């Protein structure tokens, strides 16, 4: 089930080459943050290129519930009338964040130091994911959390009446945890410090500074030390959301494994905290080029061109690269199946607590499609069968996980037999135009019961 409706069985089949230009939607991480920071600012924030996937729409609804004005002006164009730091109202109903870990964790942080109470829930996937990683550091501000055993949603958060600033070293590499602490730090007096051993995506830091917060990042032997001065006056901004490198991964990887393909994916943010997949694909020998490299809104951006790459080789992905490509391991494992030799993916324990246990979900589906996969708690490895060598021919479970669904549909475009996915509904959380975009490139992806 998609969590938002009936299951949508889908099937992908081998067909002609994928050719053309694929404009992917706005970055999900930046879209969530533009709504939340807009709501915490004084005055108006104008956003263009906002991802209108269900995850982000759920965050927009939540910001309204906390008192911000949030209005859709046109396709991807939104206006937010903020209430200022500390200005959130107590929501009347339960905040339903659907499938979105980013949504719920960042919103919990953003209300945790205001004297209000809010109850959060989500779909079956989100209600199974760990929340203590956020509520533990929020408790240091004086925030209280009451939830199910194991620190899971539904959960009620009572914001701190008199928050104190916090110094917190994140025990897991998570931009969501880092961001929740920084957002909570906004309404605490003094300086809130977050230390992360491994660099995770830094959109919160960049955007907080852009909205007028005083924030510094120092690289020390302990890790990255991020210091935020509390109680700033954030000012509404214009935000142009770049295209999402995590969504771009699907047409790019599909092009690499479908004979004759040549696909251009324009305007992709290549922020080094997000671009690990593309480096890895190049290390494997993918024909992937960065055209027209430039800077936009302080972020490195390029047009990606991916061409069919029959000579890719398996590699060991450096574990220190994991955080910069954490959402891309599922689709990387598909590409690895079409490469020669073994691809090892160490240092990826976090994959077990995403929208699904992504190692288990991918390993199960890959094996059903004739691919050998080994796995441990924090690593996995795929035995490549070479170009054209993947049998396919199975129905796999997407487990309420958009990236699992899209990864297997990409696989079906290059495998000998079709690959079916039991429910493509979750794709709408992050990439609502996936089917149309892939069809325009020539992909044979259909609703199985249509
Ligand atoms: C995100 C952080 C990552 C990523 C998620 C988006 C964000 O999660 O997997 O899709 O926008 O901060 P973790 O913080 O759990 O690594």
Length of the chain equals 450
Measuring from atom 9 of ligand 1, which residue has the nearest CA? 327
Ligand 1 contact via 247 beta carbon (within 6 Å): no
How many CA atoms does the CB half-sphere of 449 hold within 13 Å?
Answer: 8
Q: Is the pLDDT of residue 134 over 90?
A: yes
The domain 28-163+180-188 having CATH identifier 3.65.10.10: the answer here is yes
Known binder of ligand: residue 423?
Answer: no
Q: Which residue from 29, 36, 249, 404 has its CB within 8 A of the most atoms of ligand 1, so it is best to mutate?
A: 29
Q: Which atom of ligand 1 is nearest to the CA of 326?
A: 9
Residues 52-58: what's their mean pLDDT?
98
Ligand 1 contact via 175 beta carbon (within 6 Å): yes
The CATH architecture that domain 10-26+242-447 belongs to is Alpha-beta prism (3.65)
Residues 66-85: what's their mean pLDDT?
98
> Do the domains spanning 10-26+242-447 and 28-163+180-188 agree at the CATH topology level?
yes
Known binder of ligand: residue 399?
Answer: no
Q: Which atom of ligand 1 is nearest to the CA of 29?
A: 11
Ligand 1 contact via 246 beta carbon (within 6 Å): no
- How far is ligand 1, taken at its centre, from the CA of residue 203, in Å? 11
Q: Locate the domains of the chain by residue range.
A: 10-26+242-447, 28-163+180-188
User: Using H for helix, E for strand and C for coil, what is the string for 400-439?
Assistant: CCHHHHHHHHHHHHHCCECEEECCCHHHHHCCCCHHHHHH
Instruction: Summarize pLDDT for 337-383 with one digit per residue, the tens.
Output: 999 999 999 999 999 999 999 999 999 999 999 999 999 999 999 99
In the chain, the percentage of residues whose pLDDT exceeds 90 is 96
- How far is ligand 1, taken at its centre, from the CA of residue 263, in Å? 27
Instruction: Summarize pLDDT for 7-27 with one digit per residue, the tens.
Output: 999 999 999 999 999 999 999
Ligand 1 contact via 350 beta carbon (within 6 Å): yes
pLDDT reported for residue 4: 56
- Per DSSP, the three-state class of 323 is helix
d(CA 191, CA 170): 17
pLDDT reported for residue 186: 98
- How many Cβ atoms from other residues are within 10 Å of residue 6's Cβ? 10
- How far is ligand 1, taken at its centre, from the CA of residue 323, in Å? 9
- The structure tokens listed for 198 are 């491994």
Looking at the DSSP assignment, which residues form a beta bridge with residue 191?
Answer: 229
């Amino acid at each position: 089930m998609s969590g938002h409706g009936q299951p949508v069985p889908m099937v992908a089949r081998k067909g002609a080459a994928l050719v053309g230009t694929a404009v992917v939607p706005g970055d999900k991480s930046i879209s969530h943050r533009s709504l939340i920071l807009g709501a915490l600012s004084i005055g108006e924030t104008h956003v263009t290129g906002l991802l209108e996937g269900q995850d982000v729409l759920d965050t927009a609804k939540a910001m309204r519930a906390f008192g911000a004005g949030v209005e859709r002006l046109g396709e991807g164009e939104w206006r937010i009338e903020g209430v200022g730091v500390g200005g959130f109202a107590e929501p009347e109903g339960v905040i339903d964040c659907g499938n979105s870990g980013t949504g719920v964790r960042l919103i919990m942080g953003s209300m945790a130091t205001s004297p209000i109470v809010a109850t959060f829930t989500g779909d079956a996937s989100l209600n199974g994911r760990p929340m203590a990683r956020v509520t533990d550091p929020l408790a240091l501000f004086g925030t209280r959390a009451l939830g199910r055993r194991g620190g899971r949603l539904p959960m009620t958060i009572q914001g701190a009446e008199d928050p104190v600033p916090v110094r917190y070293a994140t025990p897991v590499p998570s931009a969501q945890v880092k961001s929740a602490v920084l957002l909570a730090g906004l309404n605490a007096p003094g300086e809130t410090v977050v230390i992360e051993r491994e660099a995770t995506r830094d959109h919160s830091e960049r955007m907080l500074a852009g909205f007028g917060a005083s924030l510094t990042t120092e690289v020390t032997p302990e890790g990255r030390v991020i210091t935020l001065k509390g109680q700033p006056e954030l000012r509404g901004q214009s935000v142009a959301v770049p295209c999402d490198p995590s969504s771009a991964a699907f047409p790019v990887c599909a092009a690499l494994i479908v004979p004759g393909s040549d696909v251009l994916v324009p305007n992709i943010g290549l922020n080094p905290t997000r671009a690990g997949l593309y480096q890895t694909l190049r290390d494997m020998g993918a024909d992937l080029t960065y055209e027209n490299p430039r800077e936009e809104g302080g972020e490195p951006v390029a047009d990606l061109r991916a061409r069919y790459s029959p000579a890719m080789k398996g590699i060991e992905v450096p574990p220190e690269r994991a955080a910069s490509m954490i959402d891309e391991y599922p689709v990387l494992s598909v590409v690895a199946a079409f490469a020669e030799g073994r691809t090892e993916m160490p240092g990826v324990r976090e994959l077990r607590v995403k929208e699904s246990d992504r190692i288990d979900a991918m390993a199960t589906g890959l094996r059903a499609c004739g691919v050998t996969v080994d796995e441990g708690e924090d690593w996995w490895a795929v035995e490549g069968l070479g170009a054209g060598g993947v049998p396919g021919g199975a129905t796999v479970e997407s487990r309420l996980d958009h990236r699992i669904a899209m990864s297997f549909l990409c696989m079906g475009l290059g495998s000998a037999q079709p690959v079916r996915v039991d429910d493509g509904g979750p794709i709408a959380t992050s990439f609502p135009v996936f089917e149309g975009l892939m069809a325009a490139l020539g992909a044979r992806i259909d609703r199985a019961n249509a």
